[in-house]
């Protein structure tokens, strides 16, 4: 077979296929009369207030008055702008960790605001050898004295 015959066959096949598809979609046996279709109103029916509230409740919606909505959004905004919850920090004191190492860890974890006071306070009280090892939890910024009491259990 030569190329010309193949291309002629493909072209004729495409034309016949397209005409068959056109005849299949425009067949009068498949279409239904217009009178059998349901009548749709041009204007939707308006519902009364109790009917709207009932529909909202049945479909999982809450019906809230404008004044209640504004009060709730105001409360949410106040809570978001309020003071944040204190941050809970847990540290682990290794056996043999020095007081300066503990102080550095507390400052980097933002439990203590500044360095050098903790070390001098614990040295003044003579508690450098009484520091316990283990996990300790602190909520928010702490005073040096409360941290000393917690890690030495005075």
Do 99 and 122 touch, CB atoms closer than 8 A?
A: yes
Q: What sign does the CA torsion over 90, 94, 96, 100 have?
A: negative
Cβ burial, residue 138 (10 Å; 0-12/13-18/19+): buried
Q: Name the token pair of 111.
A: 């439990």
pTM, two decimals, is 0.44
Confidence of residue 12 (pLDDT cuts 50, 70, 90): very high
Q: What is the predicted pLDDT for the residue at 84?
A: 66
The residue-averaged pLDDT of 30-36 equals 55
Q: Is the pLDDT of residue 29 over 60?
A: no
Q: Where are the domains of the chain?
A: 49-81, 88-152
List pLDDT tens digits, range 43-81.
Answer: 667 778 888 888 888 888 887 888 888 988 888 888 777
Instruction: For 88-152, give the CATH class.
Output: alpha beta
Cβ burial, residue 4 (10 Å; 0-12/13-18/19+): exposed
Other Cβ atoms less than 10 A from the Cβ of 111: the count is 19
List pLDDT tens digits, range 13-24.
Answer: 999 998 888 887
Q: What is the predicted pLDDT for the residue at 15?
A: 93
């Amino acid at each position: 077979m030569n190329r010309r015959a193949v291309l002629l066959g493909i072209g004729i096949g495409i034309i016949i296929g397209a005409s068959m598809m056109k005849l299949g979609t425009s067949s009068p046996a498949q279409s239904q009369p217009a009178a059998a279709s349901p009548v749709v109103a041009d204007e939707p029916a308006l519902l009364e207030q109790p009917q709207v509230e009932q529909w909202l409740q049945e479909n999982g919606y809450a019906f809230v008055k404008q004044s209640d909505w504004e009060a709730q959004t105001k409360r949410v905004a106040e809570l978001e702008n309020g003071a944040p919850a204190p941050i809970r920090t847990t540290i682990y004191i290794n056996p043999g960790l020095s007081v300066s190492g503990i102080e550095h860890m507390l400052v980097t974890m933002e439990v203590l605001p500044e360095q050098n006071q903790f070390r001098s306070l614990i040295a003044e009280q003579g508690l450098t050898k009484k520091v316990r090892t283990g996990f300790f939890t602190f909520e928010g910024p702490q005073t040096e004295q409360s941290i000393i009491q917690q890690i030495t259990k005075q």
